Amino acid sequence: MHILKRLLACLREYKSTTILTMVFMLGEAVLETFLPFLTANLVNQIQSQAAINDVLRTGILLTIMAIFSMMCGGTAGFTASKAATGLSKNLRHDMFERVQTYSFENIDKFSSSSLVTRMTTDITNLQMAFMMMIRMGLRSPLMFIFSVVMAFIMGGKLAMAFVVVIPVLFVGLLLIGKNAMPAFRRVFKKYDKLNESIEENVRAMRVVKGFSREEYEKKKFDTAAEDIRKDFTRAEQIIALNTPLMQICMYFDMVFILLVGSKMAIIDHSVDIGQISAMITYGVQILMSLMFLSMIYVMVTMSAESAKRIYEVLEEEPTLENPEQALELVSDGSVDFENVSFKYSAQAQKFALADINLHIDSGQTIGIIGGTGSSKSTLVQLIPRLYDVTEGSVKVGGVDVRNYDLEVLRDSVAMVLQKNVLFSGSIKDNLKWGNPEATDEEIQEACRLAQADEFIQTFPDGYDTHIEQGGTNVSGGQKQRLCIARALLKKPKILILDDSTSAVDTKTDALIRQGFKEFIPETTKIIIAQRIASVQEADQIIVLDNGSVSAIGTHEKLLRTNQIYREVYEQQTNGGEK
């Protein structure tokens, strides 16, 4: 219930539209229940050979009511659409806004594909359910109540027909819904799994064929599909009981009203023909509104899952807070790690980084080397406070990073991520991420430094060349150089390259490093690399092994003293002519 409350709070400017919808639905429901009442009058007038004028008067009244009902229903349809799509607009906005405040830890927790589903499919589901709720959710119970009241007022004893039928139908529909829902939920879960495995197959078709596993996959699929068929059939069979239940109730009503009605009419004239005809109409209305109610019940419960998933995004607390009295200035590019330990989650048994102590002077060039899983990326991500340390302290410019304003800190510490992304738009648009006010000269300068200017100039559209989503239309090496240029435009105090030149050839790689040395000597440069050549000339090289520092020193020193470093070096140069 609190989930619903939280989500409905997002209605905001569409609150009045929602209420309006309900008012109009109310109007429609009232009018529609009066229609049979007046029609019964009309029938009686005809039967009693009343004056033509009376008949016409009732007819005109009825027509006006129908027109009003049309206007109410039409307007409600209109406002309901506005309210429901408005709600989903606000929800999407709020979710997007919330995600923007997420820390890396929050993002890791959700995974981007799950966030995408929550902001698209789940919102669409909720929108449908909401629209149904404010239209039918009000109309059906109202119609039901009005019809029952009218039936009792008009039909007198004839209304007894409903006394029996309504509880039977109500309980029946409830039982069916209760049994069907878990069955469907189970089936849909299995169904999703089946589709996932199909997707896996489509993606891995080369593997399947490469290992000649076609028959094996078919068999596996047939078993899973057959399993779903059984469950699905059972679930649908339960829900299919609705139709005969509904019909038999309707039939019972008809027979009862006709039989008892005619008896009452003939024996003591206690009902007239108009009443009998109205009762039949009310009977249909009552049963239909019950049917709608059960449909709404099913739909709303089904969308509860989506609502929960949206709620989770909205209520996720960002794990990184901006400090209250934040420092607005980073004095220099020095970095200190003091007894730093880190693990990705409180539950994790192993520390990703353990007891790290480092000092980096402002303007130094630092190389970091280490095997897969040695936590190289983790180490540098602590500097711009993408994650917070578990123990110890990381300092930039002599101050703990947790004391800086986040935006200031991240503007001073530029990081080129390993898994980097360019966005759709022109090259210039992408570069301006680093500095929205950058002039063309500044952009070109940064690109020259990142050795990107040359290839950009060879494109027919130069800096206006369009980049496809994900940057698929430039090569890996070009993409990396654009990302470096983008980071350079920030004019940072500290520049971190996380394996950012792996696809760049060694010669260009060397030119980039040369440029750094000449043109941004003040900036602290931290370079993670696989290639020894990329870090060889660094002031200090940090060798990481399994989350702790194995050694720190210059190339020459490490070659002499550190076994890991020597092994990597020999592996890379062994047999080479260089």
Query: Tokens 């402002």 label which residue?
Result: 362
Half-sphere exposure (CA, 13 Å, Cβ side) for 463?
18
Q: Write out the two tokens for 476.
A: 């890996």
Strands of 365-370's sheet in order across: 413-416, 494-498, 524-528, 365-370, 540-545, 548-553
Pick between residue 264 and residue 340 the one whose CB is nearest to other proteins.
264
- Minimum CB separation from other proteins for residue 430, in Å? 10
328-352 burial string, b = 16+ CB within 10 Å, else e?
eebebbbbbbeebbbbeeeeeeebb
- Minimum CB separation from other proteins for residue 265, in Å? 5
Query: Tokens 């209250």 label which residue?
Result: 324
Long-range Cβ contacts of 34-39 (<8 Å, 24+ apart): 34/65, 34/150, 35/62, 35/65, 35/66, 35/69, 36/150, 36/278, 36/281, 36/282, 36/285, 37/150, 37/154, 37/278, 38/62, 38/65, 39/277, 39/278, 39/281
- Minimum CB separation from other proteins for residue 461, in Å? 20
Pick between residue 93 and residue 359 the one whose CB is nearest to other proteins.
93
Query: Tokens 């069916």 label which residue?
Result: 176
Pick between residue 97 and residue 461 the one whose CB is nearest to other proteins.
97
- Minimum CB separation from other proteins for residue 317, in Å? 16
- Minimum CB separation from other proteins for residue 2, in Å? 26
Check if the beta carbon of residue 433 is closer than 8 Å to that of residue 513: no
Helix (H, G, I), strand (E, B) or coil at 172: helix
H helices of 48-120, in order, are 52-101, 104-110, 112-119
Query: Tokens 């807070």 label which residue?
Result: 321
How far apart are the C-alpha atoms of 426 and 157, rounded to whole Å?
78
Helix (H, G, I), strand (E, B) or coil at 323: coil
Query: Tokens 């206007």 label which residue?
Result: 71
Helices (H) and strands (E) in the chain, counts: 21, 12
Pick between residue 1 and residue 202 the one whose CB is nearest to other proteins.
202
Pick between residue 85 and residue 364 the one whose CB is nearest to other proteins.
85
Q: How far apart are the first and last CA of the chain?
A: 70
Residue type, 52: I
- Minimum CB separation from other proteins for residue 481, in Å? 10
Helix (H, G, I), strand (E, B) or coil at 478: helix
Pick between residue 254 and residue 300 the one whose CB is nearest to other proteins.
254
How far apart are the C-alpha atoms of 558 and 177, rounded to whole Å?
71
